[in-house]
C-alpha cells in the first residue's frame, strides 16, 4: 500500500548534497581556525537533565523532552527527566564540572554540534540547527583579557568564510544591571530581560513593559531608553553613559570592562566591534561582556554569533569555573545564504575524477585506476554504465566533476579537463589536480 509523498517537517532543514558540502566546508573552516588559536575539539551528549536545562532562564516550552515510546516506569529517564540541549554552553558547563580533575586550566574548547529548540521556524531559525562554539574557562577566576581575545578569534573564523562583513555589537551586563540599580528600578535583572526585547517590541513596547512589570516612572523609562540608544565604535560611549547622571559601583565596573573590549578590538580588528548598550542577551547566566554579531545587509536575520561572560554557570559547592564563550549559528547563516543562492559549492559531489567505462568488461581495470587515485587522496568514482563517452562526460558535467579519465587498450590513461577540453596522457602515480580542484569549494558565484 502506497503511503504517498512524505510531508516535510518545518524547522528541520535537510540540505541537498551541494548544501551538505557547503555545510561541511564551513564546519571544516571553522574547526581549522579554532585549532589555530589553540582550542581543543569537544563533543557532548545530546541530552541533559531538565533541571539543568531550565535553571538558567530558558523557558520550558522551548525544550524538547526525551521520552521512550515504550516507557519503563523503573527508568528515571522515562519520567520526562531528560531534554535535548538547546545550546552548547549548558552542556559544556556540566562537562567541565564532571571532568575538572582531568582538565588543564585555563581550558580552551570548540564544539560544533546540532542543537534543538522548540521555537517558531522562520528564515535562519530552526528547531534543529548546528552551532559552533568556542569557550575559555578557568578555575576560580578568569582573566578579563579573554573577553577581548574571543571576538578576535571569531573575526578570523568569519573572515575565512565568503560572507558579508560582520559587525559585533557588545555590551556588559554589569553596566546594564548597575545602571538599572542606580536608577532605582525594583528588579534590575528583569529590566535586563525587558530591554533585551527592544528589537522585537520596539522602544514603546519596552517602556510599557518597564512601567507595567516593574512600576517604572516616566523618568526611569526615559533613562532606560536613553541608555539603549547609545552606540559608538570607540570608548566614547562611557561619556554618554556618565551624562545620564546615574551612579553605581557595578555600573562603573561594567563601563571599565566594556571600554577595554572596545578599545582593544579597535586596535587589532578595526571595524569589528561597536559598543551597543541595547544588547542584553536574555539568558540569566551572563554576568559580564555580552556579544551579538550581525551580517551587514542582513541585519533582519538577527545575530549570527552571540555569547558572553558567565561566572556562575559552572559551579559546585566552593568550586567555580568562570568562562566566556561565543557561538556561531551555522544553520542560521546557511539557511539564508543557501536559500537565496548566495553561497554554493563548486560541485554537487566530492568527486574530482570520473573514470570513463569503455565497456562492462573493463570495469575491473577502471576500478584499479580509481583505487590508485584514491590512495593518493583524489576523490574518484567509476562511471555507472558503459555508455558513449559523450554521455559519460555529460554525467560528469551535471555534477561539476572537473576531470574524466579515459583508459586505453594498452593500460595507459588520459585525463581530460572537461571545462577547457585539454586532454593528455598521465602517470597515475604522479598526476595531481590543481589544489582548487581537489575538493569541492565554497563559491559565491
* CA dist., res. 248 & res. 74, Å (int): 53
Among 170, 105, 96, smallest CA distance to 141 is for: 105
Indicate whether 302 and 369 sit together in one domain.
Answer: no
Indicate whether 245 and 380 sit together in one domain.
Answer: no
With respect to residue 4, please indicate whether it lies within any of the assigned structural domains: no
Indicate whether 417 and 336 sit together in one domain.
Answer: no
Binding positions for L-histidine are: 87-89, 117, 131, 135, 281, 285-286
With respect to residue 5, please indicate whether it lies within any of the assigned structural domains: no
Indicate whether 327 and 187 sit together in one domain.
Answer: yes
pLDDT of residue 212: 92
The answer to whether 336 and 301 are in contact (CB under 8 A) is: yes
* CA dist., res. 249 & res. 235, Å (int): 19
pLDDT of residue 137: 96
Q: Hey, what's the cell of 367?
A: 576500478
Indicate whether 290 and 314 sit together in one domain.
Answer: yes
pLDDT of residue 71: 64
* CA dist., res. 352 & res. 440, Å (int): 8
- Residue 403: left if φ>0, alpha if ψ -120 to 50, beta else—which one? beta
Q: What angle do CA 402, 406, 410 make, to 5 degrees?
A: 155
Q: How many CB atoms lie within 10 A of CB 263?
A: 15
Indicate whether 300 and 415 sit together in one domain.
Answer: no
Largest CA distance in the chain: 91
pLDDT of residue 119: 82
Binding positions are: 87-89, 117, 131, 135, 281, 285-286
Indicate whether 234 and 87 sit together in one domain.
Answer: yes
Indicate whether 335 and 370 sit together in one domain.
Answer: no
pLDDT of residue 1: 46
Indicate whether 125 and 270 sit together in one domain.
Answer: yes
Last residue of a domain, one of 293, 313, 344: 344
Q: Hey, what's the cell of 170?
A: 557588545
Kindly list the averaged pLDDT for each block of 10 residues, start to end, along the chain of length 445. Answer: 76 91 95 98 94 68 80 59 90 93 96 92 88 96 93 94 92 94 92 88 92 93 94 94 95 95 90 92 83 90 92 82 96 91 90 97 96 97 96 96 94 95 95 95 84
Last residue of a domain, one of 344, 370, 402: 344
Q: Residue 233 is part of which domain span?
A: 17-344
Q: Hey, what's the cell of 430?
A: 604522479
Indicate whether 49 and 172 sit together in one domain.
Answer: yes
Indicate whether 103 and 124 sit together in one domain.
Answer: yes
pLDDT of residue 273: 94
pTM tops 0.75, yes or no? yes
With respect to residue 2, please indicate whether it lies within any of the assigned structural domains: no
Strand 353-355's sheet: what is its strand order? 380-382, 353-355, 403-407, 413-417, 423-426
The answer to whether 437 and 422 are in contact (CB under 8 A) is: no
Last residue of a domain, one of 305, 321, 344: 344
* CA dist., res. 223 & res. 229, Å (int): 10
With respect to residue 6, please indicate whether it lies within any of the assigned structural domains: no
pLDDT of residue 341: 87
Cα–Cα distances in angstroms (integers) from residue 375 to residues 35, 132, 354, in the given order: 27, 32, 15
Q: Hey, what's the cell of 26?
A: 564551513
CATH code (residue 410) = 3.40.50.800
With respect to residue 379, please indicate whether it lies within any of the assigned structural domains: yes
With respect to residue 141, please indicate whether it lies within any of the assigned structural domains: yes
CATH code (residue 133) = 3.30.930.10
Domain total for the chain?
Answer: 2
With respect to residue 125, please indicate whether it lies within any of the assigned structural domains: yes
Indicate whether 192 and 295 sit together in one domain.
Answer: yes
DSSP element (H, E) containing 108: strand 107-116
With respect to residue 46, please indicate whether it lies within any of the assigned structural domains: yes
Amino acid at each position: 500500500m502506497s503511503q504517498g509523498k512524505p510531508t516535510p517537517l518545518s524547522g528541520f532543514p535537510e540540505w541537498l548534497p551541494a548544501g551538505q558540502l557547503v555545510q561541511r566546508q564551513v564546519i571544516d573552516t571553522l574547526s581549522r581556525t579554532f585549532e589555530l588559536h589553540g582550542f581543543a575539539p569537544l563533543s557532548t551528549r545530546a541530552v541533559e537533565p531538565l533541571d539543568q536545562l531550565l535553571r538558567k532562564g530558558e523557558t520550558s516550552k522551548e525544550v524538547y523532552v526525551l521520552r521512550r515510546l515504550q516507557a519503563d516506569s523503573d527508568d528515571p529517564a522515562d519520567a520526562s527527566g531528560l531534554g535535548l540541549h538547546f545550546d552548547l554552553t549548558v552542556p559544556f558547563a556540566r562537562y567541565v564540572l564532571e571532568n575538572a580533575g582531568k582538565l588543564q586550566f585555563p581550558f580552551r574548547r570548540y564544539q560544533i554540534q546540532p542543537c534543538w529548540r522548540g521555537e517558531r521556524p522562520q528564515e535562519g531559525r530552526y528547531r534543529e540547527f548546528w552551532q559552533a562554539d568556542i569557550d575559555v574557562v578557568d578555575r576560580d577566576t578568569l582573566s578579563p583579557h579573554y573577553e577581548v581575545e574571543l571576538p578576535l578569534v571569531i573575526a578570523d573564523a568569519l573572515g575565512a568564510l565568503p560572507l558579508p562583513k560582520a559587525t559585533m555589537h557588545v555590551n556588559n551586563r554589569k553596566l546594564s544591571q548597575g545602571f538599572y540599580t542606580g536608577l532605582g528600578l525594583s528588579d534590575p535583572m528583569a529590566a535586563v530581560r525587558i530591554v533585551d526585547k527592544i528589537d522585537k517590541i520596539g522602544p514603546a513596547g519596552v517602556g510599557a513593559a518597564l512601567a507595567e512589570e516593574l512600576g517604572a516612572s516616566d523618568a526611569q523609562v526615559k533613562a532606560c531608553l536613553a541608555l539603549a540608544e547609545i552606540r559608538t565604535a570607540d570608548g566614547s560611549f562611557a561619556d554618554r553613559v556618565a551624562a545620564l547622571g546615574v551612579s553605581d559601583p557595578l555600573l562603573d565596573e561594567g563601563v571599565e570592562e566594556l571600554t577595554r573590549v572596545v578599545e582593544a578590538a579597535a586596535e587589532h580588528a578595526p571595524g569589528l566591534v561597536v559598543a551597543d548598550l541595547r544588547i542584553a542577551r536574555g539568558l540569566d547566566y551572563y554576568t559580564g561582556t555580552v556579544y551579538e554579531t550581525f551580517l551587514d545587509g542582513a541585519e533582519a536575520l538577527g545575530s549570527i554569533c552571540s555569547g558572553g561572560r558567565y561566572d556562575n554557570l559552572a559551579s559546585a559547592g566552593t568550586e567555580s569555573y568562570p568562562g566566556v564563550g561565543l557561538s556561531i549559528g551555522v544553520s542560521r547563516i546557511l539557511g539564508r545564504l543557501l536559500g537565496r543562492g548566495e553561497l554554493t559549492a563548486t560541485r554537487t559531489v566530492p568527486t574530482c575524477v570520473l573514470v570513463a567505462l569503455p565497456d562492462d568488461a573493463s570495469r575491473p581495470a577502471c576500478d584499479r585506476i580509481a583505487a590508485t587515485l584514491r590512495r593518493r587522496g583524489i576523490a574518484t568514482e567509476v562511471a555507472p554504465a558503459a555508455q558513449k563517452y559523450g554521455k559519460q562526460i555529460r554525467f560528469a558535467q551535471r555534477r561539476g566533476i572537473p576531470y574524466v579519465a579515459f583508459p586505453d587498450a594498452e593500460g595507459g590513461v588520459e585525463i581530460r579537463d572537461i571545462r577547457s577540453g585539454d586532454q593528455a596522457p598521465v602517470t597515475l602515480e604522479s598526476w595531481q589536480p590543481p589544489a582548487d580542484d581537489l575538493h569541492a569549494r565554497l563559491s559565491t558565484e
